[in-house]
Each structure stands twice: as C-alpha cells, then as structure tokens.
C-alpha cells in the first residue's frame, strides 16, 4: 500500500483500540500486516480507525466519500448531500476555501451523517482549527482520521446494521485500493 507510509505503532498511538484487538497487534510493524490480522479476527472497526489515520488526508477523505456513496440512506437530506459535495470539492482541489466550505456544509447539515463527517474530515485535514480571522491554531494531526473513521463506520451501519459485516469488507477493500493509488 504505497500511499501508507506510517508504521503501525505510530498509527496506533493516535487511536483508541478495542481491548480485544490490542494483543493481536503487539509487535506488528506495518499497517498492511495489522489490517490482515484484524480482518482475520473480525475487528473491522479497529481496521477502519487505523486506515483513517494511516491514509494521507486527501485519500482518507476520498475514502469517506466513496463509502458514503456506497451506502445510500433514504434519510439523507439535501444538506447532507451538500456536505458530501463539499468534501468532494476539497478532495479535487484541497484549497483553504474548499476546506472551510466543507466545514460550513457539515455544520449546516447538523454534523450527524456520514456525509457530514466526510466534510469534517476535509476541514480537519490541516490548516488552522480556528476562524480565519483568529491567530492560527494548529490542527492536531489525528483529527482528520477520527472524522473519516466516524464517517466510514456510520456508512457501514446505515440504513440497516445487519449489512455492516459485508459493508466493512467492501469498505476495507476500497481503502486498500485507494492506498495503492486506485479510485476506491
């Protein structure tokens, strides 16, 4: 997975791990090895959290967008769709203007949907955490991955949580494709 350059221990330091999954990852050096172990032992949410942190921000937000589209929900509102479009716009052109527009769209949607959390991921990808007019507040590096993982987990569970196992498998395959330079 050429786009993933962080070693697994560095990624694990950024996230909460399911206590049952933690011993499985002791001594594992690479994200790819960790993902294989987690998938084999049925810990998809931990795998999603790892990928949210391990993928570069642009690829991570793209992954969240791909997953949102792959799991349509009849309850999705026009504001949710606008948040997804804003996240997409940032992925295609990661400018400060698009980053801030993504957060505005997420807030307008109520920040409750997988689409909104994809947009939050775009905003949390870098730049300042504060308003444009305030002194710069550095963005903590783990926040983008937290938003992306939240988006992907919500997508896997909607609208019918009984489909989550299949969706997690497809979403993890999509992330691996993105990590190898594909479109997801």
The SS3 of residue 152 is helix
CB atoms within 10 A of CB 19: 7
Name the CA dihedral angle for 17, 18, 23, 26, rounded to a multiple of 10 degrees.
Answer: -20
pTM of the model: 0.95
Q: Compute CA distances 177 → 12, 14, 64, 77, 110, whole Å.
A: 21, 23, 13, 29, 31
User: Considering only 72-76, 83-87, 148-152, which range has the smallest mean pLDDT?
Assistant: 72-76
Max CA separation in the chain (angstroms): 48
Determine what percent of the chain is predicted with pLDDT higher than 70. 100
Q: Please state, as a whole number, how many other Cβ atoms lie within 10 Å of the Cβ of residue 112.
A: 15
**Candidate from 28-32, 67-71, 132-136 with smallest mean pLDDT:** 132-136
Nearest partner of 60 among 131, 142, 140, 138, judged by Cα: 142
Q: What is the pLDDT of residues 38-53, one digit of tens each?
A: 999 999 999 999 999 9
Q: What per-residue confidence (pLDDT) applies to 1?
A: 80
Give the range among 10-19, 81-90, 115-124, 140-149 with minimum mean pLDDT: 10-19
């Amino acid at each position: 997975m050429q786009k993933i350059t962080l070693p697994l221990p560095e990624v694990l330091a950024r996230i909460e791990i399911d206590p049952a999954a933690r011993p499985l990852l002791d001594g594992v050096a690479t994200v790819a090895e960790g993902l294989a172990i987690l998938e084999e032992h049925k810990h998809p949410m931990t795998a999603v959290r790892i990928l949210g942190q391990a993928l570069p921000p642009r690829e991570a937000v793209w992954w969240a967008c791909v997953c949102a589209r792959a799991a349509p929900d009849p309850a999705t509102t026009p504001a949710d769709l606008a948040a997804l479009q804003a996240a997409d716009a940032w992925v295609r052109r990661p400018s400060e203007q698009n980053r801030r527009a993504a957060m505005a769209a997420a807030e307008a949607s109520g920040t409750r949907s997988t689409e909104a959390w994809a947009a939050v991921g775009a905003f949390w990808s870098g730049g300042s955490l504060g308003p444009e007019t305030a002194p710069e507040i550095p963005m903590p590096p783990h926040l983008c991955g937290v938003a992306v993982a939240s988006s992907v987990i919500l997508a896997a569970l909607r609208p019918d949580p009984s489909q989550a196992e299949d969706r997690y498998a497809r979403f993890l395959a999509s992330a691996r494709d993105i990590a190898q330079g594909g479109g997801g």
